[in-house]
Structure 1
Amino acid sequence: MAKIKPQALLLQSKKKKGPSGIGLPTIITCNVIVILIVISLYCTYKHWQGLWYRSYKRSNQLETEFNNSEKDLESLGETKKYDLPNYVIMNTSKGIVSFELLKDSAPGIVDQFLDLCQKEYFKGVPFHHVIKNFVIQGGGGLNRMGDAEDWTLKRKSDGHLASSEKHEAFMLGTCNVKQESNEFQFLITTSPIPDLDDKLFVFGRIINGEEVIQEIEEVDTDEHYRPKSTVSIVNIILKHEL
C-alpha cells in the first residue's frame, strides 16, 4: 500500500468540511413549537379552571337558593299560622260560646277545623252526645254515636271518676283518629278527664260562655246519652281579635 505524503494529507484536510452548525431557522422553529405547547397547556389549564369555578359557583348558588327557599317556606308557614283567626264564636241554640284556638299545639287540626268553619260545615249540626260531667260531642264523621259513650262506660267501669288537672274542663278537642278531610268530630270537655289524654287532640279552650255549655249539659238524654230535644250550632264566626 502506497504511503500518503504529508503534503497530500494537508491538502486532503483542507478539502474536508467541518461539522455544520444548527441554523437560525431551526432554532426559531423549535422555539415556536415550545411556545405553542406552553400556550396549549396554559389554555387547557384555564379551561378546566373555569369549568371548576363555574361548577363551584353554581353549587354555592344552588345551596344559597335552597337555604333561602327553606327560609321562605318557614316564613310562609309562620305567616300563615299567625294570619289564621285566633277566635271562634259558636252561636248555639242555647247561646254563644267563644273559643280561643291553640294554633301551636295542633296546627294541622286547627287548619282543618277553620277550613270547615269557612265552608259552613257546622251550620245546623246538632250536639249528638251530651254526657254530664264528661263531654259534649258534636260534628260528623266516624262513629257518631259510639266514641264518647264507649269512653264513658269504660271510665265508669274502671272507677276512674276522680278529677285531675291533667286535662282541664271547657276545652275543645277532637278524636285522636284519622278523619276524612270533609268530616270533623269535636268534643267539649265539661270536667277534667285525664283518661282521654291519649284519645283527644285539644286545639282550643273556652274563654266565654261556660254557662251555655253547662246549660247544654243539663238537657235530658236517653240511655245512649243522646239529647231528647235538639241542641245545635246555629253558625260559627271566625275572628282575629275579640
Structure 2
Amino acid sequence: MQESEAAIPPATPENEVYLDLKDGRVVILLRPDLAPKHVERVKTLCKQGFYDGTPFHRVIEGFMAQGGDPTGTGTGGSKLPNIPAEFTNKAHFLRGTVGAARAADPDSANSQFFIMFAPAPGLDGQYTIWGQVIKGMEFVDHIKRGDGPNGIVKDPDRVVRMRLATDVKD
C-alpha cells in the first residue's frame, strides 16, 4: 500500500461529494487534511450548484478528465478569487485522485478539477490534491475522450449534478 492510500481518512458524509454523471454516481472523498482551502472551495461551489451542467472539456486517454469550467474553454472559473497552492509530498497522483487544475501560476486554481485515469507521478508536488474517488470510478472511465488538440473534447460529457453528500436525499 502506498503512503497516500494509507493516509486517506475515513469517509463521512460531511467530506463526500456526489458527482453524478450520465452513467452513474461517483463518490469523491474530500481531503481537508491535504488541502483545506481547496476543499472549502469545492464545498462552497457544490452548495451553489456551480458545477451542474459544466463540461469535461479536456479528457486524455490514460491520463485524466478535466472539468469545472463553465465556459468549456479551459480558461474559465468561478467568480471567487483564486486559491493558493496546497502542494504536499504526503499524497500521490494515483488512479482516482482528484486534483485542482490551474494555469502556469501555482496559485491560480479556482474551480477546475481533474480526475486521474492512471497514476501520474510527474504531477506529485506540482498540483494540489483535494479528493479521491472511492466509488464509481467505472463511470469516470466512461467520460467521452477528447479528439481535438491537447485532449479538447467536441460535444463533451457534462456534470449532471455535483453536491455534498449531506445535501443529497437520493
Is the shorter-chain TM-score for this pair beyond 0.5, marking a shared fold? yes
Against the structure 1 CA distance between its residues 199 and 175, is the aligned structure 2 distance closer, same or farther, given a 3 Å change threshold?
A: farther
Q: Could you tell me how far 1:198 is from its partner in structure 2?
A: 2.9
Does the Cα contact within 8 Å between 1:123 and 1:233 map onto a contact in 2?
yes
Range 201-210 or range 168-177, more displaced: 168-177
Aligned to 2:100: 174
Q: Which residue of 1 aligns with 2:118?
A: 191
Name the counterpart of 2:64.
135
User: Identity over the aligned pairs, expressed in percent?
Assistant: 27
TM-score, structure 2 length as denominator?
0.70
Give the aligned residue type for 1:193: A
Tell whether 2:129 aligns with 1:202: yes
Tell me the SS of whatever aligns to 2:139: helix
144, 147, 150: which one aligns with 2:74? 144
Higher percent of residues as helix = 1
Give the deviation of 1:93 after TM superposition. Answer: 2.3
Are the structure 2 counterparts of residues 166 and 123 from structure 1 closer, same or farther at C-alpha, using a change threshold of 3 Å?
closer
Task: Confirm or deny that 1:92 pairs with 2:11.
Answer: no
Q: How far apart, in 1, do the equivalents of 2:36 and 2:13 lie?
A: 10
Distance 1:241 1:207 in 2: 18
Moved over 3 A (4+): none
CA contact (8 A) 1:106 1:203 kept: yes
Q: Distance in 2 between matches of 1:168 and 1:87?
A: 18
1:106 equivalent in structure 2: 35
1:224 alignment partner, SS class:
helix
Q: Of the candidates 212, 216, 219, which is equivalent to residue 145 of structure 2?
A: 219
Aligned partners of 2:99 and 2:115 also within 8 Å: yes
Give the aligned residue type for 1:86.
Answer: N
Give runs of aligned pairs for residues 1-242 of structure 1, distance below 5 A.
85-140=14-69, 144=74, 166-175=92-101, 177-179=106-108, 183-216=110-143, 219=145, 221-240=147-166
2:125 is paired with a residue of what secondary structure? coil
Distance 1:175 1:219 in 2: 18
Q: Contact (CA 8 Å) 2:145, 2:151: kept in 1 or not? A: no
Q: 1:225 Cα shift?
A: 1.1
Letter aligned with residue 184 of structure 1 = S
Q: Which has the larger radius of gyration?
A: 1
- Unpaired segments ≥5 residues, structure 2: 1-11, 76-90
Distance 1:236 1:86 in 2: 13
Provide closer, same or farther for how the CA distance between residues 166 and 122 of structure 1 changes in structure 2, counting only shifts above 3 A: closer
- Closer, same or farther: CA 84–112 of 1 in aligned 2, 3 Å: farther
How many matched pairs? 138
1:104 shift after superposition: 0.9
Is the partner of 2:46 in helix, strand or coil?
helix
Q: Which runs of 5+ in 1 are unaligned?
A: 1-82, 146-164
C-alpha contact 2:35 2:128 (8 A) present in aligned 1: yes
Greater RCO (CA < 8 Å, at least 6 residues apart) = 2
How much does 1:226 deviate? 1.8
What is residue 78 of structure 2 aligned with on the other side? none
